[in-house]
Structure 1
Amino acid sequence: MVSLLGSALFPLTLSNGASRSARVAASGGGRISSSCFKHMKEQRKVVCACMAPPRDLRRDESSATKFNDSFKSESLSTVREPEDDSNVLIECRDVYKSFGEKQILRGVSFKIRHGEAVGIIGPSGTGKSTVLKIIAGLLAPDKGEVYIRGRKRVGLISDEEISGLRIGLVFQSAALFDSLTVRENVGFLLYENSNMPEHKISKLVTETLAAVGLKDVEDRLPSELSGGMKKRVALARSIIFDTTQDAIEPEVLLYDEPTAGLDPIASTVVEDLIRSVHMKGEDAVGQPGQIASYVVVTHQHSTISRAVDRLLFLYEGKVVWQGMTHEFTTSTNPIVQQFASGSLDGPIRY
């Protein structure tokens, strides 16, 4: 069974009482009436954008992604990965993806480790958002493998009985339900798939909104919020979790263009919030962040400099460069140089 929310298909795999390893991370936009919402609460069977970890472990014998054959002027990475892969949360290995005759990904390989803040950058149309959707389980690769906590994903979102990692996806457009209040949007996962009483969910929603710097907005509709506030509500929805669970798995958040359409000040607010909910930061109320790692797809130079530590550069469906953020502007790779400077002269053509 599937539900069409916004522009993405979300497999529905959990029913009340099923394993909590799968998670609602974000919901597509759409209109839901109050009566429909109440009916959905009673049924407690629908999970949208649910993401779960997959099966099987195979060791990766390569320590870096091969450089695009067309541009060999710079080594792919100056950072050697440790041999111990015990802290690898997500790995994509030689992933290919096409839509019809258009080939988007042509052998993408990389690892996301516990504690990392990673940015995926590159020209438009090179497959950055596609990579996020494959990690999240919303798309299946045509070829290649995705490993979550060392377990190979089989199919799409289907491994709800396996615990190990929660993956949240924050969409570029915020993708809030426009006929639900902020409280109902943020608490959607818990209303639908937990046994928490409603008053406790409401309290947790208020606390989570405070963590992203929002107060007294619970009863507003998305149409009453600014663009920056909508982004923060979407972030709150992605980090809320059932506090009654015995064990909470580490979480990876995936951000698709989180500052798109925002003015520079609002962008700075969102970038700082992304940092604050990370395990290495403190949220808006001074509490330690609880996000194990995160991945940001972005074109914004401010987001690159403020919100991430390591970069993966995608070009023509491949990772052609990776390095630390401070290496980005000093790279000798002609593709990276052109992207960093915004020059019309170089290998990237539009």
Structure 2
Amino acid sequence: MTEPLIELKGISKSFGNNKVLDDIDLTIYQGEALGIIGPSGTGKSTILRVIAGLIAPDAGEIYIQGIRREGLIEDGADPLGIGMVFQQAALFDSLTVEENVGFLLYQSSKLPRARIHELVEEKLEMVGLPGIGDRYPAELSGGMRKRVSFARAIMSNPEHPEEGPEVVLYDEPTAGLDPIASTVIEDLIRQLQSTQGACGSYAIVTHQDSTIRRTADRIILLYQGKVQWQGTVSEIDSTDNALIRQFMSGRVSGPIQVVG
């Protein structure tokens, strides 16, 4: 493969006495769709937040296009943009859809409002929601809120195109959705990967079988703070690894300990 866009080396992270990441190595390559799976509480969302620069690891190194990151995202600009879609969409309830999607542009750019409106409509069109900019999050379905959060994650400032997201991190984007709404989101994730002006590389945390199979190319399984298995989606059903077989089948018995 080519040089990684993002590379984590020896990443560890604890919260109190709970060590959720233990000497993790992880790479994301240009054009890759990386799936991160594993039981609840095994550090999947934590590793996304480390990649995004929202929390700092206790140990290890993070390289963005070969350049070592020092500190958090607000401490210095990365050489490539990283967008994040949170599990609950994380929209501002008091703001309209347009204000949510264009939030960073309204806050930190010198673009006129009319231009920001055009850019917001462009992103809403990409996620299949044209003309809803005047609505509020409470007026939208769960699937629509997820798509609005996608539009916000891929928004970029044309004054500084180098800051636009080249990698998007999805934290359980189909959680809480019915099977049909999940399919819409899964299709959209793949569509955005190949859309001009969106984002060509991503990492996705998910528990759902259909989302794993339809949105990921390469898979890593996290358990007990470590990468226990990695391979392609096509290898899921043929591997002899007991952890991945138990996880994908949903069996209670096996090496993965059932909590509670």
Aligned partner (choices 36, 44, 56) of residue 128 of structure 1: 44
Aligned partner (choices 236, 241, 246) of residue 156 of structure 2: 241
Give the corresponding residue for 2:242: 334
1:274 and 2:192 equivalent?
no
1:1-350 equivalences under 5 Å are: 82=1, 86=3, 88-160=4-76, 162=77, 164-245=79-160, 247=162, 251-278=166-193, 281-282=194-195, 288=196, 290-350=198-258
Shift of 1:328: 1.0
Distance in 1 (alpha carbons) for counterparts of 2:56 and 2:27 = 18
Give the aligned length.
258
Say which is worse superposed, 237-246 or 132-141, in terms of deviation: 237-246
SS at match of 1:277: helix
Distance in 2 (alpha carbons) for counterparts of 1:100 and 1:163 = 29
1:247–1:106 CA distance, 2 compared to 1 (3 A): closer
For 2:5, the aligned partner's letter is L
Distance in 2 (alpha carbons) for counterparts of 1:157 and 1:241 = 16
Runs of 4+ aligned residues of structure 1 deviating over 6 Å after TM superposition are none
Shift of 1:216: 2.0
Distance in 1 (alpha carbons) for counterparts of 2:170 and 2:162 = 25
SS at match of 1:109: strand
1:230–1:250 CA distance, 2 compared to 1 (3 A): closer
TM-score normalized by the length of structure 2: 0.95
Shift of 1:242: 1.1
1:249–1:197 CA distance, 2 compared to 1 (3 A): closer
SS at match of 2:120: helix
Question: What stretches of structure 1 of length at least 5 have no aligned partner?
Answer: 1-81, 283-287
Deviations 1:55-77 (A, max 9, x none): xxxxxxxxxxxxxxxxxxxxxxx
Shift of 1:157: 2.0
Shift of 1:292: 2.9
CA contact (8 A) 2:171 2:204 kept: yes
For 1:192, the aligned partner's letter is Q
Percent identity for Structure 1 against Structure 2: 56
SS at match of 1:141: coil
Higher helix fraction (1 or 2) = 2
For 1:188, the aligned partner's letter is F
1:120–1:244 CA distance, 2 compared to 1 (3 A): same
Question: What stretches of structure 2 of length at least 5 have no aligned partner?
Answer: none
Shift of 1:159: 4.3
CA contact (8 A) 2:64 2:78 kept: no
CA contact (8 A) 1:92 1:108 kept: yes
For 1:129, the aligned partner's letter is S
TM-score normalized by the length of structure 1: 0.71
Give the corresponding residue for 1:21: none
Shift of 1:329: 1.7
Which is higher, the Rg of structure 1 or of structure 2?
Answer: 1
Distance in 1 (alpha carbons) for counterparts of 2:161 and 2:127 = 25
SS at match of 2:144: helix
1:133–1:326 CA distance, 2 compared to 1 (3 A): same
Deviations 1:267-319 (A, max 9, x none): 011111111111xx24xxxxx36313100000011111111111011010000
For 1:206, the aligned partner's letter is E
1:183–1:349 CA distance, 2 compared to 1 (3 A): same
Shift of 1:163: 5.1
Shift of 1:247: 4.1
SS at match of 2:39: coil
